[in-house]
Amino acid sequence: MPYVPPTNHVERVSKLIAGRVVDGGAEHARLALSHLRARDDYHLDPGASAGPRILSAAELRIIQRGEQALLGASGLCLPRLHEMVREAGYCVLLANADGVTIDYCVDRDHRNDFKRAGLYLGSCWSEQEEGTCGIAAALSDQSPITVHKNDHFRAAFTTLTCSAAPIFSPSDRLIGVLNASALRSPDERDSQRLVNRLVRQNAVLIEDAYFLKTHAHCWVLLGHRNRHYVDVQPEILIAIDGHGQVLAANRCARQCVPALASVPGTALPCIEDVFDLRADRLFDTQARSALLALRPAGGAVLHARVRAPLQRAFVKAPAVQPATVQSAPGAPAEMLDDIDLLERDRILAALAQHQWRAALAAPLLGISRATLYRRIARFKIVAPHRS
């Protein structure tokens, strides 16, 4: 793309705000409002050529420690998304709800190029600091967007293309943004449709992983509208307590099941009121091994399996001999932080539920068999029959 002098970019920003630029596609109105806020509310200079503020390593570590749940949920999605878009010259960023990049994936050969552009760990992309950009717009409007080249408010970023999607907690709290950025991409806005869709899909996968981690203490229905995808990639997640009360449902479940549309809410439904299914049947061993066909009132049939709670208490079932977790010399098991303990317990429970067959436990955990073996090795988990 030809170099755009700052003076020309400043003029374009003014025209966009005034409604005299109409090449912003469906995002035109959002871009204009974001530009207006950047100029009038935050008093930013559209002609500025400096890159974003980047936190020190110490500052970043403090923030990352507070985002362990989000980082743990996104651990598989970032490299998977990067593998899909890397050949087109994209890097992948994960930002928290303040717009700080807390994780990223980038080709080693191009790391310095992305770093010079500000696409780096610890970079700050809030609208208050940088004006209109992918991460800032997704945070401000809480919806996916592609900010393409000259759509950026600041002249420093007019060669970048950024597709971003917000990430929400089970209670609909905005917790972060997934972003894919390219240093050079085609000028046509339509060229970004595929990347935008991939980013949105992976943001949902992070939300679902976060859902499962934060509801590890619950019974969870994992379902899909197509029975063949239940064990591969369940799209419907419903968390239930030991009394059959629905505690949470992911966005897809709320869209597909009318009775869950108001979840989260003050009056939570009982699972028996959502499906023609007694709660005690869900907790039955036979039900946990069966593929259930559930018919919600006013909705299509859903297919689901039941995941039992993945806490340490569940691992100690009488029928299963407990596994041992061996600590490295001089490093007791209690030195693992909370997220590691939760992950270890999830793995132990899944393995115990499937008689220590990794091929069956891995899909339950939402990871590949190779990843499961690496985590077994990391936590030094030893099966009972090998103890």
Q: pLDDT (tens digit, 9 = 90+) per residue, 14-30?
A: 988 888 766 656 678 89
DSSP H/E element including 93: strand 90-96
Residues 116-161 pLDDT 10s: 999 999 999 999 999 999 999 999 999 999 999 999 999 999 999 9
Paired with 107 in beta bridges are none
The DSSP line for 112-167 is: HHHHHTT-STTBB--HHHH-S-HHHHHHHHSS-EEEEGGGSSSGGGTT-EEEEEEE
Confidence category of residue 39, pLDDT binned at 50, 70, 90: very high
- Closest to 78 (Cα-Cα) out of 177, 169, 146: 177
SS3 59: helix
Confidence category of residue 36, pLDDT binned at 50, 70, 90: very high
pLDDT score for 288: 65
Q: What is the pTM of this model?
A: 0.77
pLDDT score for 148: 93
At 296, give phi and psi (nearest 5°): -75, 150
Region 189-210: mean pLDDT is: 94
pLDDT score for 316: 35
Paired with 54 in beta bridges are 123
Would you tell me how many other CB atoms lie within 10 Å of the CB of residue 350? Answer: 24
Helices (H) and strands (E) in the chain, counts: 17, 12
Region 215-221: mean pLDDT is: 91
List for the chain the helix, strand, coil content (%; round to 5).
Answer: 45, 20, 35
Residues 339-375 pLDDT 10s: 566 677 678 877 877 778 888 888 777 677 878 888 8
Which of the residue ranges 6-20, 222-236, 276-290, 350-364 has the most confident prediction, judged by mean pLDDT?
222-236
pLDDT score for 381: 87
DSSP H/E element including 196: helix 193-214
pLDDT score for 136: 97
b/e per residue, 360-371, with b = 16+ CB within 10 A?
A: ebbbbbbbeeee
Residues 323-335 pLDDT 10s: 443 433 333 333 3
- Closest to 51 (Cα-Cα) out of 124, 146, 111, 126: 124
Region 269-294: mean pLDDT is: 80
Provide CB contacts within 8 A for 170, sequence distance 6+.
210, 211, 214, 215, 239, 248, 249, 250, 264
pLDDT score for 315: 38
Q: Are strands 381-382 and 101-105 parallel, antiparallel or unpaired?
A: unpaired
Would you tell me how many other CB atoms lie within 10 Å of the CB of residue 346? Answer: 23
Which of the residue ranges 198-202, 276-280, 371-375 has the most confident prediction, judged by mean pLDDT?
198-202
- Identify the residue with better confidence: 49 or 264: 49
| Percentage with pLDDT > 90 across the chain | 51
313 pLDDT more than 50? no
At residue 129's C-alpha, the angle toward residues 17 and 14, to 5°, is: 15
